[in-house]
A = this chain, B = another copy of it.
Amino acid sequence: MCHAETVSAPASRPVCVLGLGLIGGSLLRRLADTGVRAFGYNRGAATVDAAAAAGYAASGDLHATLRQAAEQDAIIVLATPFTALTAMVEAVRDTAPACLLTDVVSVKEEVACLVERIHPNGRYVGGHPMAGTSHSGWAATDPSLFEGAMWMVTTHDDTAADDWLAVAGIARAAGAYVVPAANDAHDRAAAAISHNPHLTAAVTAAVGAGESDLALRLAAGSFRDGTRVAGTAPELQRAMLEANSISLLNTLSETIDRLVAARDALRDHGSVSVLVEAGHRARLKYEAIAGADPEPITGVRIGDDGWQEHLRKQAHQAKVWVG
């Protein structure tokens, strides 16, 4: 059985990963490689076989996996696509209801609602590692995938300190920095810097390929880099983008508005300066933030009065938690 009062460092507490694709598989490998007792479940037998052959504890039996999680007080990580979450959370509720639950799904409000609806008495602290490639599946897994990456951890005013520390501990064990944020702020941010870029990559690719094979022959760096994520499996992209539709509609509308203004300025005045200048300033700002070592959050002790708000405020200044 899980014990809600048990709080331990991730290295001494088992982790159960449900779904061994790129993210879940990489996490299982990283944790196991660094001495964490980690085990996982995957529906497809080929992945289970590949993981087991590589020496990892993997099973195709969800019920048995969750029984083990309950017996060992494991932290359960939901790492399936969004579309498979309902069945996973139902199984957790039925078999390992007291276990602390987190996830690695790219949207947070929809997942939180789903968990609340299906497993209202569950202990859940959301998470989202900002890492990935355009490849997917066990063959693409990499224990160093999260090294230096940003890992958002849900930080609301009612988030329990013990549970937060346990989930943040998994992110740290994976080599990531922890970015504390509210779910809605995360989802707006994810729409702006991940989901919307998937749509602009898709449209850039479609317009380029629609012109001619000559065009694709001439394509160089701007097209190659600008369309890379369009190579991600469409069903994974859809699961990610459509689960964040409200925030994505906002960023997509802003994208359209800015492009329409650019088209009008180009047609009427022969100029694209407003958009090009704005894009350049934005890119320089991003490079300044991404290029420097992240500044750590300081002066907050997890569990002290108002710790959640203090974390969020510093994260809003682009700082990270390193424990």
Residues of B within 8 A of A286 (CB): 205, 208-209, 216, 219, 223-224, 227
Select from chain B the residue with minimum beta-carbon distance to A317: B213
Answer whether A210 and B254 are a contact pair too, CB < 8 Å, given A132-B220, A217-B318.
Answer: yes
Residues of B within 8 A of A273 (CB): 234, 238
Select from chain B the residue with minimum beta-carbon distance to A320: B217
Residues of B within 8 A of A318 (CB): 213-214, 216-217
Contact between A206 and B259, CB atoms less than 8 A apart: no
Q: How many copies does the complex hold?
A: 2
Most buried by B among A130, A231, A233, A283: A283
Contacting B at CB under 8 A, from A185-225, are 185-186, 188-194, 196-225
DSSP class of A's interface residues: helix, strand, loop or mixed? helix
| A6 at interface, CB cutoff 8 A | no
Answer whether A275 and B206 are a contact pair too, CB < 8 Å, given A214-B179, A283-B231, A289-B216.
Answer: yes
Most buried by B among A200, A255, A263, A284: A200
Answer whether A234 and B271 are a contact pair too, CB < 8 Å, given A207-B258, A217-B179, A225-B225.
Answer: no
In whole angstroms, what is the CA distance A201 to B149 when docked? 22
Give 1 or 0 for each of A232-263: 1 = CB within 8 Å of chain B CB. Answer: 11100110011001001101111110111011
In whole angstroms, what is the CA distance A197 to B228 when docked? 12
Residues of B within 8 A of A9 (CB): none
Answer whether A198 and B276 are a contact pair too, CB < 8 Å, given A218-B130, A270-B245, A282-B205.
Answer: yes
Give, as a whole number of angstroms, the nearest-CB distance from A245 to chain B.
6
| A304 at interface, CB cutoff 8 A | no
Select from chain B the residue with minimum beta-carbon distance to A198: B222
| A315 at interface, CB cutoff 8 A | yes
| A139 at interface, CB cutoff 8 A | no
In whole angstroms, what is the CA distance A277 to B205 when docked? 11
Residues of B within 8 A of A249 (CB): 263, 266-267
The 5 lowest CB-CB distance pairs between A and B, nearest first, are A202-B279, A209-B282, A192-B211, A189-B215, A205-B282
Binding site for B on A (CB under 8 A): 130-133, 149-150, 152, 179, 181, 185-186, 188-194, 196-234, 237-238, 241-242, 245, 248-249, 251-256, 258-260, 262-263, 266-267, 270-273, 275-287, 289-290, 294, 315-320
New contact pairs (8) apart from A131-B221, A203-B275, CB-CB < 8 Å? A130-B220, A132-B220, A196-B204, A201-B279, A209-B286, A214-B316, A237-B280, A252-B259
User: 13 A-B pairs, CB-CB below 8 angstroms?
Assistant: A132-B220, A132-B221, A133-B221, A150-B217, A152-B218, A181-B214, A192-B212, A199-B276, A202-B282, A209-B283, A210-B254, A241-B276, A252-B266
